[in-house]
Amino acid sequence: MAMFSLARPLLHRLAPERAHRLTVWALRHGVVPRPCVPADPALAQTLWGLPFPHPVGLAAGFDKDAEAVGPLLDLGFGFVEVGSVTPRPQPGNPRPRVFRLPADRGVINRLGFNSRGLDVAERNLRAFRARHPGGIVGINLGKNKETADSASDYAAGVARLGPLADYLVVNVSSPNTPGLRALQSRAQLDTLLARVGEARDALPRGQQPPLLLKMAPDVTEADMEAIAETARGPSLDGLIVSNTTVTRPDDLTDVNAAEAGGLSGRPLFGLATDRLRHMYRLTEGQVPLIGVGGVENAETALAKIRAGASLVQLYTSFIYRGPEVITDILNGLSKDMRSANCSSVAALVGRDA
C-alpha cells in the first residue's frame, strides 16, 4: 500500500492514459502487494446467487480488456466489472481524451469505447478463469461505433462472453458513442432487451448470467419510469446507477472542467445518488441496484447503500487514492455497522429512500 502512496505523485505527473497503462502493467506483473482486507461477515451478501464477500467493486472502464482481473481482485475489490467490450476492436476517440480535475476530485473522459474486442476479452477471461477459481466478475458490453443494428452487437457480446460472466451489463449510457444513450428510451429499450434476452436464453443452462442495465444520470423522468418498469419485468435482473454525466455542476473549479466528455468522481456523487434513490423508490426495492458515482470513502459508500444500493462500485477515487480506498471503506463500513448494532449490510439498503 505504501508503494502506491509513493507512486501516486509520480503517476499523476504522467498523462492520465499513460499512468493508467503503467498501473495495469504493474498489476499484471505482480508489482502489487496484497493488502490485508478485513473479512467481515456482516458485509457479505448473496445476490443473484453470487456470494459477494463485501459490497465494494471496481466499476467498468478500468480494465476494459480484462487484462488484470486476478490482480484487481487480489487488491481487495469484492467484485470486478470488466469492459466495456465492443464486438470488434476499435481505437476510440483521438487523444487526449482523459482529463483529471484534481481541484474537484473528478475526471472527464471521452474515450469512446476503446476496446480490443471480444476475441481478446474472451482469451483474457479464459486465462483468468483457469488461474483464479473464485472471484466475482461482471462483463460490461458495448457496441461498435459503426454498427447500425445496436442489438446485434450486444447479442454478440452475450453469446461470446456470457458463459464467462458472473453477471452481464448492457451499457447504454456512455456519453461518447453517438446515439447510444437513446437506447435507454421507452421506444428502444424493450426491443433491445428482447434481443439481448434471447441471446442469453440461448446459452446452455447453468451458463445464463443475470442481466443488468447501466444507465446514465442524465435521463428524463419518463426514461427513469420506463427503465424502472422494464427492470421490474423478466428481461432485467438489476440496474447500475450510474454512468458519467455530461452536465457540469456550477461549482467546478478545475481548468479542465470545460473539456467535453463524461464527468465522474466527487462532482457526480449528488446527481448519481439522487438518481439511485429515485430508482429505488420507482422499483419499490424489488430490483437489486448497484450504486456508482463519487464513492470515495465509507461515508459516501454508506450513503449509496442507504439510498438503495445493494452493492457499490468506484473508479475515480481509485485514481486519486489508490487501493487504500478499498480498505478504508471496508473498515469504515464495519465500524458503522457495529455502532448501529446492525449484523448485515443488507438491512441498511434503502433505509434513506
Based on the shown chain and the rule CB under 6 A, indicate whether residue 100 belongs to the binding site for ligand FMN. Answer: no
Any idea which residue has 458503522 for its cell? 336
In the complex, the smallest distance separating the C-beta of residue 151 from ligand FMN, rounded to whole angstroms, is 18
In the complex, the smallest distance separating the C-beta of residue 174 from ligand FMN, rounded to whole angstroms, is 5
Based on the shown chain and the rule CB under 6 A, indicate whether residue 293 belongs to the binding site for ligand FMN. Answer: yes
CA-nearest of 232, 225, 221, 204 to 289 is: 232
Near ligand FMN in 17-56, by CB under 6 A: none
What span, in angstroms and rounded, lies between the C-alpha atoms of 222 and 184? 10
How many CB atoms within 10 Å of residue 261?
21
Catalytic annotation present for 174: yes
Phi, psi dihedral angles at 284 (to 5 degrees): 50, 35
Which region among 185-193, 199-207, 308-316, 324-332 touches ligand FMN (by CB under 6 A)?
308-316
How many CB atoms within 10 Å of residue 334?
18
Residues in the chain: 353
Question: What track of x and - describes contact with ligand FMN for positions 214 through 233 (by CB under 6 A)?
Answer: x-------------------
In the complex, the smallest distance separating the C-beta of residue 293 from ligand FMN, rounded to whole angstroms, is 4
Which region among 178-186, 263-271, 273-281, 283-291 touches ligand FMN (by CB under 6 A)?
263-271
Based on the shown chain and the rule CB under 6 A, indicate whether residue 107 belongs to the binding site for ligand FMN. Answer: yes
In the complex, the smallest distance separating the C-beta of residue 342 from ligand FMN, rounded to whole angstroms, is 25
Based on the shown chain and the rule CB under 6 A, indicate whether residue 243 belongs to the binding site for ligand FMN. Answer: yes
Based on the shown chain and the rule CB under 6 A, indicate whether residue 292 belongs to the binding site for ligand FMN. Answer: yes
**Helix %, strand %, coil % of the chain (to 5):** 45, 15, 40
* Angle at the Cα of 220 from the Cα atoms of 311 and 113, rounded to 5 degrees: 60
What span, in angstroms and rounded, lies between the C-alpha atoms of 257 and 86? 28
What span, in angstroms and rounded, lies between the C-alpha atoms of 146 and 126? 28
In the complex, the residues that contact ligand FMN under the rule CB under 6 A are 59-61, 64, 83-84, 98, 107, 109, 111, 140, 171, 174, 214, 243-244, 264-265, 268, 292-295, 314-317
Catalytically annotated residues: 174
